[in-house]
Amino acid sequence: MVTAARKLRLSKPRPGSRPGETVRVLISRARVRQRVRQLAREIRRDFPKDTLHLVAVLKGSVLFLADLARELGGEVSFDFLSVSSYGKTTASSGEVKLIKDLDVSIEGRTVIAVEDILDTGLTLKYLLHLFEGRKPKHMRVVVLLDKIDRRIADVHADYTGFTIPDEFVVGYGLDYDERYRNLADVCVLQLPHTPAKK
């Protein structure tokens, strides 16, 4: 049952929201924090002595990487790259373009690709192809969110935070038109005129 107080909380304006857009919490900040801690433990257990070189695609994974890096302990370094996917609407074209490359070589390093969300998997497929050609010592993938039903490319993460339904999510770094990245919770975004999913 939705109480009046809860209704009020749900309708509270969120940072960056526009008229008609609503967001509802899918994964609370507390659950995110706890899961990130667990993921960090799993990764560190697998590579207890290595310097972990975290690489992430700007900008959605930045908050996840920042929290993960602090939970990992030991030696950690990180680097970023930037890609453009040709329109979410035509994602099946699979075209991904490198806009900004990593600053340093990953050859011989233990590389952890840090992804905010795995959707069609086309971006990750492109990244893995790119990185594996550069001869890292180990190559692993950690994703916070996995929309498994949307997968087109045959890729998987080695460490997964949460499997989520096929909904558009924002917050914890993820945006809609550059907005909502600063929400602390992972939320489902409902746009005006989009029928709600049951």
- Decide whether 71 or 167 has the Cβ nearer to ligand IMP: 167
Which residues, 6+ apart, have CB-to-CB distance to 66 below 8 Å?
Answer: none
Beta bridge partners of 99: none
**Residue indicated by tokens 């409902």:** 190
Q: How far is the CB of 112 from ligand IMP (least distance, A)?
A: 16
54 or 174, CB closer to ligand IMP? 174
Distances (CA, A) of 52 to 43, 45, 173, 189: 9, 12, 22, 34
Please pick, among 50, 116, 119, 185, the residue that the annotation labels catalytic. Answer: 119
Shortest gap between Cβ of 62 and ligand IMP (angstroms)?
A: 11
Give the residue from 154, 78, 73 showing the smallest Cα distance to 114: 78
Angle between helices 62-72 and 29-46 (to 10 degrees): 50
Least distance from ligand IMP to the Cβ atom of residue 120, Å: 3
Is 149 tagged catalytic? no
Q: Whose Cβ is closer to ligand IMP: residue 36's or residue 91's? A: 91
* Nearest approach, Cβ of residue 1 and ligand IMP (Å): 29
Residues at the interface with ligand IMP (CB under 6 A): 60, 85, 91, 116-124, 168-170, 174
Q: Is 110 or 123 the residue whose CB approaches ligand IMP more closely? A: 123
Distance CA 188, CA 170 (A): 6
Task: State how far the Cα of 80 lies from the Cα of 77, in Å rounded to an integer.
Answer: 11
* Cβ proximity of 159 and 143 under 8 Å: yes
Positions marked catalytic: 119
